């Protein structure tokens, strides 16, 4: 039996292939990532290119003006609170809780005005809410 001590060499780790792989991954990520600044984001609402308007038989149209006034089915709502708006929604909903609430807000109306309509609908049990928009062609005609 041969029991002599063998000299044990430490394995050498070659870092060059590792660095090559990391550089390829870094270049891939740099090329595939899009960078956008949120401060430069400009949004113009509401515009959509819908093929045709849907006709809801159980619809309640809530119009929100730019100064925060509300009209429900072309009837002006006196007041701007959630409770008053909710009571007006219940009166206008002919189909009850199954009615579809269509929010038609002015493009320059405040976000809070639209949220108030959504909150009034939620508190009164309406769960079908949609937004009315106009197509880009209609916006250009005005």
| This prediction's pTM | 0.57
pLDDT value at position 121? 93
Give me the percent of the chain exceeding a pLDDT of 90: 33
pLDDT value at position 40? 46
- One-letter-per-residue 3-state SS of the chain: CCCCCCCCCCCCCCCHHHHHHHHHHHHHHHHHCCCCCHHHCCCCCCECCCCCCCCCCCEEEEEECCCCCEEECCEEECCCCHHHHHHHHHHHCCCHHHCEEEEEECCCCCHHHHHHHHHHHHHCCCCEEEECCECHHHHHHC
pLDDT value at position 58? 82
Give the CATH architecture of domain 59-141.
2-Layer Sandwich (3.30)
Q: What band does 139 get if pLDDT is binned at 50, 70 and 90?
A: low
pLDDT tens track for 37-88: 544 445 455 655 555 555 556 889 899 988 888 999 888 999 889 999 999 9
Cis check for the bond before 31: say yes or no (omega within 30 of 0).
no
């Amino acid at each position: 039996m041969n029991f002599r001590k063998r000299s044990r060499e430490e394995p050498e780790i070659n870092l060059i292939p590792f660095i090559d792989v990391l550089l390829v991954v870094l270049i891939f990520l740099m090329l595939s990532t899009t960078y956008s600044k949120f401060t430069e984001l400009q949004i113009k609402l509401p515009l959509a290119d819908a093929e045709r308007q849907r006709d809801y038989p159980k619809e309640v149209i809530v119009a929100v003006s730019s100064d925060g006034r509300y009209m429900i089915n072309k009837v002006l709502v006196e007041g701007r609170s959630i409770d008053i708006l909710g009571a007006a929604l219940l009166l206008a909903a002919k189909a009850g809780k199954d009615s579809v609430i269509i929010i038609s807000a002015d493009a320059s109306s405040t976000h809070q005005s639209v949220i108030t309509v959504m909150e009034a609908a939620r508190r009164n049990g309406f769960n079908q809410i949609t937004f009315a928009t106009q197509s880009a062609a209609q916006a250009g005609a005005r």
